[in-house]
Structure 1
Amino acid sequence: MSDRLKGKTALVTAAGQGMGNAAVRAFAREGARVIATDRDGALLDPLGALDGVTIQVLDVLDDAAVVDAVERIGAVDILFNCAGTVHQGTILECSTADWDFSFDLNVRSMFVLTKAMLPKMIAAGGGVILNMASALGANKAAPNRLAYAASKAAVAGFTRALAVDHVKQNIRCNCVCPGTVDTPSLGDRINAFADPAQARRNFIDRQPMGRLATAEEIAETFVFLVSNESSFMTGQAVFVDGGMTL
């Protein structure tokens, strides 16, 4: 432990698995007190055994639950909006319900939680907000990702607007734009294909580096962006994509 986040309190959504889970572990390793949330309490249970980690079931699509959680938690130094979903399909394969769900989870939930927490962070002297965007949408398109790319482009815009509105109040806000990361969510999507082995090869081929990222290596970027090491950065979309957007 290098204590890069010592004395900080972090709130992380979608912490049960994947990049949210890796973020909780990395933040705790660096000395933060972490409140790990997810709608699935069973996924959170292993995190409860970590020093400095408190688990809390939270469905970020439930506005009242989000506001109530923020009132109970109070101000944090770090807010990581990590919850999201990936819809696969073109516009012809995307229903209005698919579109609405993509924006509700990928963008609206971020808006609701941030709106509830931001006044508390400002009153406490400031803090850092980190949002989960994507290489797809923020800078690049890919086949069959219409709703996902559109919603992640919205996250990048939300991040810049939030940053410029509140920079004078000691609030920094950045977003991370990963390439293809080997998470349980990706595994589920790969296994939904008729030929999962070929699907995995196709996902790998999108990265010039010739491999998928691990959640743990993406989490190192999270640590940097919420630590004092990035104290002069705000409003940025940071790409960690194995060369996907080159």
Structure 2
Amino acid sequence: MGSFSGVRAIVTGGASGIGAAVTAALLDEGARVAVLDLEPAGLSDGVLGQQCDVGNRGSVDAAVEAVARTFGGIDVVINNAGIGATGTVADNDDEDWLRVLNVNVVGMVRVSAAALPHLKRSKAAAIVNIGSIAATHGLPQRALYSASKGAVDALTRAMAADHLREGIRVNCVHPGTADTPWVGRLLGAADDPEAERRALEARQPHGRLVSPDEVAASVLFLADPTNASTSGVSLAVDGGMHSLLLRPST
């Protein structure tokens, strides 16, 4: 076992997509993992499933306390749960904005706040928030989603500053367009799903969608207790989209 042996971790939204990949990677490294999800079904053996709505403070507090009692504490929190939104500022009403921000931003706040008393007692305390390339790049038809992930980016740095001297590291991963069920549903709703997929692949310099396992590897890097001097970092996992400007392939 590596540096995660015995580490007690929470992964929100861990039943599918990036969250499921993170959960599997943590298990492989010897961590004890609890998945907080609206529907914690189909989980791997050894995973503690806990029903939780990150949009509700009472649900979050109860779920986090249940995990802490079962595990005897919490060392790592992966704030992955989130929902998508499409459209310009003219396309989403106030209810849409409040719903998405409540889950994607305040949901992370709720989980982190509930876990803080336990993280303060840990010698391997780390929080990793899952952001998006939408936080740093202007993507069409993603106004609401981009605003929520931009808030996650800023929130990560503020949390890192607040809690570093309490021994808690806070970092963020910004995936590019990843090959997840949510992206699959967006592609399925397109007029020409195959053409839309090719367009998304071409947008990323390495010419393909990011795999959930690649995102999970970066999450584990940031959560690893041996990276004790890494805090306040936003790590792009996007095939170079964040930093590279390549000529179109011919």
1:205 maps to what in 2?
Answer: 202
Alignment of 1:100-119 (within 5 A): 100-119=98-117
TM-fit CA distance, 1:3: 2.1
SS where residue 123 of structure 1 aligns?
coil
CA contact (8 A) 1:22 1:215 kept: yes
Q: Distance in 2 between matches of 1:222 and 1:29?
A: 14
CA contact (8 A) 1:133 1:175 kept: yes
Report the TM-score when normalising by structure 2: 0.92
Among the aligned pairs, what percent are the same residue? 36
Q: 1:134 aligns with which of 124, 132, 135?
A: 132
Q: 1:59 aligns with which of 47, 53, 56?
A: 53
Q: Show structure 2 runs of 5+ residues with no match.
A: 244-250
Q: Distance in 2 between matches of 1:238 and 1:90?
A: 26
Q: 2:231 aligns with which of 231, 234, 242?
A: 234
CA contact (8 A) 1:127 1:171 kept: yes
Q: Distance in 2 between matches of 1:232 and 1:115?
A: 22
Show CA shifts across 1:25-50 (max 9, x none): 00000000000121113xx3232x2x
Alignment of 1:1-246 (within 5 A): 2-41=1-40, 44-47=41-44, 49=45, 52-74=46-68, 75-125=73-123, 127-137=125-135, 139-246=136-243
Report the TM-score when normalising by structure 1: 0.93
Show CA shifts across 1:189-233 (max 9, x none): 111112111111121121011001110111111111111242210
Q: Distance in 2 between matches of 1:77 and 1:100?
A: 30
Cα RMSD (Å): 1.3
SS where residue 56 of structure 1 aligns?
strand
Which amino acid in structure 2 is aligned with residue 73 of structure 1? V
TM-fit CA distance, 1:141: 1.2
Q: Distance in 2 between matches of 1:62 and 1:165?
A: 24
Show CA shifts across 1:145-177 (max 9, x none): 101111111001111011111111100000000
CA contact (8 A) 1:11 1:34 kept: yes
Which amino acid in structure 2 is aligned with residue 172 of structure 1? R
Q: Distance in 1 between matches of 2:124 and 2:223?
A: 12
SS where residue 182 of structure 1 aligns?
coil
Task: Flag as ranges the 4+ runs of structure 1 deviating above 6 A.
Answer: none
CA contact (8 A) 2:7 2:30 kept: yes
CA contact (8 A) 2:124 2:225 kept: no
